[in-house]
Amino acid sequence: MSTKCKVLNLYAGIGGNRKLWENVEVTAIENDYNIVKIYQDNFPNDKVIVEDAHKYLLEHYEEFDFIWSSPPCPTHSRIRNEAGVGVGQNKPVYPDMILYEEIIFLNYNFKGKWVVENVIGYYKPLIRPIVYKEHYFWANFVIDGKKNMDRGHMGSMEDLRSIKKFDLSKYKKDIDERKLLRNCTESETGLYIFNSAFKEKQETLNKT
């Protein structure tokens, strides 16, 4: 792309999905001030807004070329349901329907490229996703799935830092480093999904 792609990065976390993106103008939305600090340290040129991502999407979606959303995953998680609820450690909760609200909203209203990411859930998805490296993705472009590739998010801290390409040790007093790294989308996955969104356009340009 000759001009910078305007990207909305919702529920941005520490920015794992965004780490390898180039030629982009990113607006990141995150509501945890401690996490925002980490994001800003790693991506000082991005615009970071501390706000409710779900609300921001509704009010600003038309301003962007590409939208990535990663709504909160705990209520959909197999791990929470099987290892927690299944053995009585966690109480059952309603699945958070923000996930499906955003998929439907983007599908019927947003004219650019969009993707919604979440964990592989414990129930049959209400809307069929694409499975890529132990993630669910819903998108308005083609993603070639890779179902059996381990994310490595259950490894040791050393493994997590290597796989996720973040070392958060200096922030330890303010964060749960393991949780943040486990929730972080791998940078290679983020780049693959981003490139997939514009692959058709790139192929068309190459043929002309």
Q: Is the pLDDT of residue 134 over 80?
A: yes
Q: Is the pLDDT of residue 22 over 50?
A: yes
Which candidate, 151, 156, 114, 113, places its Cα nearest to that of 132?
Answer: 151
Q: What percentage of residues in the chain have a pLDDT greater than 90?
A: 58
Q: What percentage of residues in the chain have a pLDDT greater than 70?
A: 86
Q: Give every strand in the sheet of 130-132, ordered side by side.
A: 47-49, 24-29, 5-10, 66-69, 113-119, 135-139, 130-132
142-196 pLDDT tens trace: 998 776 555 556 667 788 888 888 888 888 777 888 888 888 899 999 999 999 9
Q: Is the pLDDT of residue 31 over 60?
A: yes
The domain locations on the chain are 5-207
Between the alpha carbon of residue 184 and those of residues 13, 40, 160, 178, 196, the distances in Å are 7, 15, 10, 10, 20
CATH 3.40.50.1110 fits 5-207, yes or no: no
Q: Is the pLDDT of residue 51 over 50?
A: yes
Distance separating alpha carbons of residues 128 and 202, to the nearest angstrom: 27
